[in-house]
Structure 1
Amino acid sequence: MIKETIIDESRELISDELVALQSIYPELELDGNNCGRVSIPVSTEDTFYLSFPDLKTNKLDTIAVKHFPAIELEFFLRQGYPQKSPPVFFVKSSWLPIQKVRALTSHMLALWNEIHDCVLFDAIELVRSDASSAFHSPKEMVFPPGSESLKEEVLATDKHATLAEFENRKFTCLICFDQFSGKDCFQLARCGHVCCKQCLTDYYSVCIEEGMFSQLKCVDLECAKTAPILSLEEMEMIVGSDLRKRFQELDEKRRYENDTNIVFCPRKSCQGPARRDPGQKLAICLKCDFAFCSFCQASWHGDLSACRLQGDSKKLVKMYLEHLETDKDKAEELEKRYGKRILDKLVEQVRNDEEAERWALLNGQRCPTCDRVVERIDGCCHMICLCGTHFCFLCGAYLMEANPYIHFNDPSSTCYAMLFASPEEKQRFSENWL
């Protein structure tokens, strides 16, 4: 009877201990036969240095961590526990040395030997607090060759635990100065400064769109003086892959712009860099292989065919002529980049084109359909082009084929009553458009 009472009391003590233990450690697993297991995470305030041999270089690869893979503690409560028999402990760890595993097991048994009572909670806490003593001063450990998988496991554990700690803390954003939980913030990898996600995303997005690449660094004023710009991986985490690609494209274009032999593809869908020989007009896009003239931006027309200058090409000639008058150094830079002989030829061509355009405006008129210049030798201002278009010789407006003379009979028309305008009247009319 006394023996049964003792057994019942032991069962009650064990049941109470396991219930209390499971409330403290929800991850505790029990199998109903007085057996259980629990994963014990190991974290420290100090930084520890773990070294792994690199078989390729025969050197040590050292990593710094504060969190380690969990230690698995299994226990079995024998008959007579907790007063008569100690529990049986099994310690499993991927990183603890075998000597330390044995020492931990001995220390847990020593706990029971001192009090002959419930010791599971104390045993778990002993493992948690005593695991870091596996390292000797200055907190270093060297692992044997072939431990590459262990290194990856340690790094993954440390990264996950560090992120969890960060997300549960409160931070003040360096941009808007409001407080946020870590899960709503970014921490810059190189310096550790923290800003809320919205502020940092908005700020860096504007920097990329506006081409302010020198500002793609820490927003702290003192830190920004020496900090490098963000890495591409960190940039993508903050602004996304599309803006990261945009940054790379703009940065590549900026670097290419310093090369006098690089121009850019005129195709709007491409705009990739194109290399050409010094002083030559032929350029071939390195991105889409489009061959084009670097002066008129048209598809390649050969060296013997003249450029039909317009848009950027005319701007180039205008810029060159202005620099010849105001800034000789900049004019020389353009000559080095494009070649003086070619620039002189283009200047002459632009002047000839402008003179021809002036003559055509004063003495002829361009067909609004095919752009052919038509000269009037005799007759009225109702013109019929070779392409069949009816138009006004004075203003170039389309005329209705059925009744082209309405244009000249309309009092609101600029060409009212000028059907038979003289050449002198035509020139005075055209000078108003010059």
Structure 2
Amino acid sequence: MAAVTDDEREEELSTLAAIFPELVRDKCDPFSATLELPVTPSKPLIVRFLPPKRGLITNGNAAYMSGPSVEHDLELSHLPPLSLQIHLPPNYPADSPPKATLRTHHDWLPKEKLEELEQEAAKLWEEYGQCQILFAYIDHLQQSADSGFDLDQTAPGCLILESTEKNELVKFNADTILSTFRAGTFDCGICLEPKKGSSCHRMKRCGHVFCLQCLQDFYNNAITEGDIVSVRCLDPGCGKENATPNASARKTKRDQTLHPRELLEMGIHEDNVRRYLEMKRKKKLEADKTTVYCPRTWCQGPARSMKYPPIPADLNSFIANEDASDDEDAENENTSTGDRLAVCEKCSLAFCRVCYMGWHGQFARCYPRDPNELSAEEKASYDYIRQNTSPCPTCNSPTQKTMGCNHMKCFQCNSHFCYLCGSWLDGDSPYQHFNKAGTDCYQRLWELEEGDEGQNPGDGRGFGGGRGWEQIALEVARQADAEEAEAAALEAAQRAQEDEDARAAAQLAEADEAAPNGAREVGLENAMAQVRVNDQPPPPQAQQRAAQRGGAAGIGRRQRNPFPAHPPAANHNAQAIRNHERGAGRWNANGRRRGPHPPLVNDEDERQRQELQRFLEMARRDEEDGWDSDELGDEAGFEIR
């Protein structure tokens, strides 16, 4: 009977060895074997890592709890394998069930669950009618591992472990995924050639697979050219299949750039990864409206920022301390808007982020370099402080007096100072400043006793110190604005006068064009023959009106005739023609006025006058080219000067 039983145990173990090649039989006990069962749940198992136990620490009269209190939940797809040790007793399977012992690496599975699984061997032996049940028992363990041992059905809804087990389990999960991937074969999404998993890389966010050579060539070239936006998944449809209408506020997987840790994993050189991080940081600094830059023209470096810290020399430790998710998705730490101190990360200059001057302390009064940056309320507040307060000489805190003497004590630093000139005063003898003859504040202790809103300074000297300089600057700025406004008004008046003159000239030109031909000829004849009879300057009233209209010489005054008033006559014929055109008899040969008399015109003069009229008629018909000037006679006898 014993030989038959031994044959049944040997037969069952040989069959299991054929099904599970990884079955290891004990050399000392031929009816004992060990089998490693992988634990890969079909649905990733949620593991909650509890913080270390917190202890009560006393420090004098104070007591507090030590240790962090933050829990971390992670999803793990691969857990350390379940080790099954089988021993078949001599009377198996007829009279005794098999003896199963279970344990796990790193002791991640609760002991209660292990004991429950061990008892399943005896239950199956009873259910199957006391026969060979090793294969059924191993299959039951595999199904339990596939379902995560039903740990999600417990009260916590997950597996709870101490935080000391976190690193080992996370490392085992990553190594298992990598080894499984390297053992497979994939088609590269770029070159479309089949490659072994050991020569490929799977994107962590989306799972697309590309060969390492294609990824390295593309990403190295993109980083060298500064195109960091292209350092992302290269699949054209990445992120589109899971896009939703409400996903516009969050970047899709394709729009997110790769984490530097992933670039190192795919073989990108460390220098290129550093350049990639520097360009990403520079882009974020330039896009952030709160970034301030060094006021030194030769530097212009950004100020140090807690939101975007500089890249340290040890790149690996910097990447290891970062969160695995892309920092673009994480909420940046908000800096305090009340902190005005900024330090340039290039030249280490400490300056004020409001006025861009050298650092002057937290309580100093300063104003933005660009007045447009102030709101209406802020501008009113700054103007009031500037015009109605005196700065402390020690900490520059603004102080306003409502009543009393001009001996002030700063509420911030307890410094004694003069309200009028801002001088520092000795706390033991502060009134000596007002009793020293020859100073600006001599005998002015009780000036402005009722405060700034009360009486004015008796001697009219006003304030000194920082407040006095600000008042002087305000007055200079006001005068400059008034002069600029006056110059602008004068320039506008001149432009208006020029425009008016241009319109008048245009109207005269239009009227001349619209006049009949006959009127033009009369005007031409009068213009040729007209000579100013009175060469005296205009009366004073006309000169005053001309000065009001134009101001410049020749503007608003009657223009002088280009011809002399009474040029000397070369002969009697020319003089007779001028007398005829003007109205003969008004002037004699000596230029003196005389009474009217009939014009003295001979036949030659009449002929020349007719020739002149004929020339005018031909000019009206545009036929002046056919007229000969010799018809007027001898040039010496007819001359118009």
**TM class, shorter-length:** 0.5 to 0.7
Matched, 1:180 2:195: yes
* 1:249 Cα offset (Å): 5.4
Corresponding residue number in structure 2 for 1:96: 109
Corresponding residue number in structure 2 for 1:128: 142
Paired residue total = 267
* 1:217 Cα offset (Å): 1.0
Instruction: Tell me which of 86, 90, 98 is aligned to 1:75.
Output: 86
Corresponding residue number in structure 2 for 1:371: none
CA 1:253/1:81 → structure 2, altered by over 3 Å: closer, same or farther? same
> In structure 1, what residue type is equivalent to 2:129?
I
* 1:233 Cα offset (Å): 0.9
* 1:109 Cα offset (Å): 0.9
Corresponding residue number in structure 2 for 1:15: 10
Q: After the TM superposition, which residues 11-160 of structure 1 pair with which residues of structure 2 at under 5 Å, given as runs? A: 11-31=6-26, 32-33=28-29, 34-55=31-52, 56-93=67-104, 94-113=107-126, 114-131=128-145, 132-137=148-153, 140-143=157-160, 147-160=162-175
Any conservation in 2 of the 1:108–1:126 contact (CA below 8 Å)? no
Any conservation in 2 of the 1:217–1:230 contact (CA below 8 Å)? yes
Unaligned runs of 5+ residues in structure 1 are: 1-5, 260-274, 293-434
C-alpha separation between the residues in 2 aligned to 1:202 and 1:30?
A: 50
C-alpha separation between the residues in 2 aligned to 1:247 and 1:37?
A: 50
Choose 1 or 2 for highest CA Rg: 2
> In structure 1, what residue type is equivalent to 2:175?
H
* 1:201 Cα offset (Å): 1.2
User: Does the residue aligned with 2:77 lie in a helix, a strand or coil?
Assistant: strand
Corresponding residue number in structure 2 for 1:327: none
* 1:207 Cα offset (Å): 0.6
CA 1:276/1:143 → structure 2, altered by over 3 Å: closer, same or farther? closer
Any conservation in 2 of the 1:78–1:85 contact (CA below 8 Å)? yes
* 1:252 Cα offset (Å): 6.4
Any conservation in 1 of the 2:47–2:159 contact (CA below 8 Å)? yes
C-alpha separation between the residues in 1 aligned to 2:122 and 2:287?
A: 73
Corresponding residue number in structure 1 for 2:296: 278
Any conservation in 2 of the 1:174–1:195 contact (CA below 8 Å)? yes
C-alpha separation between the residues in 1 aligned to 2:281 and 2:99?
A: 65
Matched, 1:243 2:272: yes
Corresponding residue number in structure 1 for 2:260: 232
C-alpha separation between the residues in 1 aligned to 2:235 and 2:263?
A: 17
User: Does the residue aligned with 1:245 lie in a helix, a strand or coil?
Assistant: helix
Any conservation in 2 of the 1:28–1:37 contact (CA below 8 Å)? yes
Corresponding residue number in structure 1 for 2:177: 162
Higher relative contact order (CA 8 A, sep 6+): 1
TM score, norm. by length of structure 2: 0.37
C-alpha separation between the residues in 2 aligned to 1:21 and 1:174?
A: 41
Any conservation in 1 of the 2:188–2:211 contact (CA below 8 Å)? yes
Percent identical among aligned pairs is 26
Corresponding residue number in structure 2 for 1:383: none
Q: After the TM superposition, which residues 378-389 of structure 1 pair with which residues of structure 2 at under 5 Å, given as runs? A: none
Per-residue Cα deviation, 1:340-370 (whole angstroms, up to 9, x for no partner): xxxxxxxxxxxxxxxxxxxxxxxxxxxxxxx
Any conservation in 2 of the 1:96–1:134 contact (CA below 8 Å)? no
Per-residue Cα deviation, 1:257-314 (whole angstroms, up to 9, x for no partner): 999xxxxxxxxxxxxxxx976245899xx99xxx99xxxxxxxxxxxxxxxxxxxxxx
Any conservation in 2 of the 1:208–1:247 contact (CA below 8 Å)? yes
Per-residue Cα deviation, 1:18-61 (whole angstroms, up to 9, x for no partner): 22222333332322322222221111221221111124442321
Any conservation in 2 of the 1:236–1:243 contact (CA below 8 Å)? no
User: Does the residue aligned with 1:115 lie in a helix, a strand or coil?
Assistant: coil
Per-residue Cα deviation, 1:362-410 (whole angstroms, up to 9, x for no partner): xxxxxxxxxxxxxxxxxxxxxxxxxxxxxxxxxxxxxxxxxxxxxxxxx
> In structure 2, what residue type is equivalent to 1:134?
D
Q: RMSD value over aligned CA atoms?
A: 3.5
Unaligned runs of 5+ residues in structure 2 are: 53-66, 240-250, 302-309, 313-345, 348-641
> In structure 2, what residue type is equivalent to 1:27?
E
